[in-house]
Every structure is written in structure tokens, then in C-alpha cells.
Structure 1
Amino acid sequence: MQKLQMLRQARNLLGIGTDIVYLPRFQRLLMKYTNDDDVYAIKSSSALDRINDKFMHPIERATFRSLANESLSKRAKYLAGVWATKEATLKALHCYIPSEHIPPAQVIYTKLLYKTNNTSTGSPQLQFDKNFSTTTPLYSQFFRDYINGKISTLLSISHDEQYLVSFVCLTSK
């Protein structure tokens, strides 16, 4: 019933974005930081952390660390999904917000939002960090003017053996 009511509400499309990534690229990145003896052991967590710090929100980094005992393929899909989602979101934001008002990509990727999964359905979703104005006061006006309480996100991710695609849609609330 709630979904039906939500569909009946008039929403304006604000922006769309998509990104496709080559999964073997992310597998190679992970293999570079994996011990030969143990494919699950991280060789240089500080180097991998520095890479992840450039595009992952702290919640995503914690989720990635929780996948340490998972297969290389699963960890690569997670990294690729986060990357593609951030790229698609940035493209969608550029449809909606004037370029001069958008913070740098790294701020958006690491502070503004994070990819998670719906706990009941497992479907991917995007969450805006409610603490963005506090953690990034330089861009608090941007958050108030364009994000907070104003937009909703729709996220779809699909993958096969070699590619992963992410599609993000921004709608008004």
C-alpha cells in the first residue's frame, strides 16, 4: 500500500546518471594488495585504504572491511558498485545543480552519500549523510539549498561476469 501511495505522488525528475565499469580492473586492483599465499589477506591495507578514502564514505569502507573473508570477485563487485554509483550520482547531480554550486567530486563521494542495501529486499540504495553539514561546513549551504529534504534517489545496479552498470535517478520529494 505504501508503495502505491508513493507512486501516486507527483515527482519531478531532477537528474539521471549512469556509469559502467570493467570488473577485471577492480579485481586487478585488489590482487595488487593481496598476498600470493592467501587470496583473502590484505598485503598493504594502508595503501588500499588510501585508495578507498578517495571515493568511499566511512560507512562503505566499514562494509568493505567486513567483506575481508569473501571472494575476490565479491569484494571487486562491491568496490565497482560503489565507484559506479558515485560516478552516476555525480552525473545526475550535474543535471540538477549548476556546476559552480557543486562541491568537488571527492567531497560528494566521501562525505555526501553512501551506497547501502535495503535490509529487507537487499536492493541497492543511496543514503545522504545527515551529518554532511557538520562534517563539511564549507558546503553546508549547498546541502541546505539542493539536498536536505528536497530530493530522493533511485538506484539500480546490474552486472555480469565482466561489467557492472549503475543507474541513478534523482527526483523531487
Structure 2
Amino acid sequence: MDTSVEIIEKSMDVVKTLQLINKYSTKKSTLNAIARKVMCSREREKFQNLMRNLDVHCEVQKQQCVTYMAGIWATKEALYKSMTHFIPPHDMLPAQMIYTKLFYKSNNQITGAPQVQIVNPLTTECQLLYEKYLKDTNILLSISHDGEYLIAYTSICAS
């Protein structure tokens, strides 16, 4: 049985979480503005719940909020980079639209592994891009975080 996977494109992104904590963790309005730029509504809802319960003096809670945001941000950046390598510029959507209207990051309910899913329903522009370039693909995601760095690695593979 052949278990090989054809990788169309791959990319990665690194976020320095310590910088996010130091720069933004006490400024909820700034974090919310960033969230609106990189998160779909489902991700923002979860982020809002984390923020609602945030005690800015609790390092563990701040780290949870920042790790959640950094994981989504790095995932979306890595996906966008991958897409720009095989989707022609005239068909590529703006980064913010791809971040907020096309993909969302979640975790497998059984294994907890990070995964990328397609927003449903898609806007017309996203639907056209999806049908033309992404319909017959699988997106693989690996996230690693240690200390002050979080790395997201994505592979867009032929199904």
C-alpha cells in the first residue's frame, strides 16, 4: 500500500510569544484589534471567552491567550505563504480575507492535534478560490511552542 503524499506547497511561520505578551497582553483593545484581522468569527468567539476571564496579573492566563492567538496567527501566515507559491497573484485574495473568511484553526477532538478547517459558509470570493485551487487538497498542520517561540508548519497536499 502506497502511503506517500504529494505535497503541493509547504511553509512555516514563527511568532515570538514573549513579544506578544510584553507588548499587548495588558491592552485588551489592541489584542481584540489583532484578533479581528487574523481570526474568523469562531476563533474570535473562543478568544473573547479567554479574554473575558483574563486576569492580567496571572501569567498562566496571559500565556494561554497569547499562545492561542500566536497559534492562529502563525498558522494563517504559513498558509498564506504556501498559497502564494501556487496560486497566481491575479487569483489570490487579500491576506485578511484568507485569514478571516477561508480557514480556521481547531484541534482534533480525540487527539488534540491542531488542524485547519474551511469556514462554512464561504463568501463568494473564497468559494471561487477554494473550488479552483483548494478543493482537492488536504492541509496538514504542525505547531510547536517552547519558551518564547511558537512555530506553525503547514503542508498543502493533493488529496
TM-score by length of 2: 0.86
Q: Does the 8 A contact of 1:15 with 1:94 survive in 2? A: no
**Alpha carbons 1:157, 1:165 under 8 Å: kept:** yes
State whether structure 2 residue 3 is matched by structure 1 residue 16: no
List runs of 5+ in structure 2 lacking aligned partners: 55-60
In structure 2, the partner of 1:163 is 149
Question: Given that residues 98 and 126 in structure 2 are in contact (C-alpha distance below 8 angstroms), is that contact kept between their aligned partners in structure 1?
Answer: no
The residue number in structure 2 matching 1:30 is 25
Structure 2 vs 1, CA of residues 158 and 139 (structure 1 numbering), >3 Å: closer, same or farther?
closer
Distance, in Å, in 1 between the alignment partners of 2:119 and 2:137 is 13
* Number of aligned positions between the proteins: 151
Mapping 1:16-165, distance limit 5 Å: 16-27=10-21, 28-33=23-28, 44=29, 48-68=31-51, 69=53, 71-132=61-122, 136-148=123-135, 150-165=136-151
Provide the secondary structure at the position in 2 that maps to 1:67: helix
- Contact 2:12–2:152 at 8 Å: present in 1 too? yes
5+ long unaligned stretches in structure 1: 34-43
* Alignment root-mean-square deviation, CA: 1.7
Q: Could you tell me which residue of structure 2 aligns to residue 36 of structure 1?
A: none
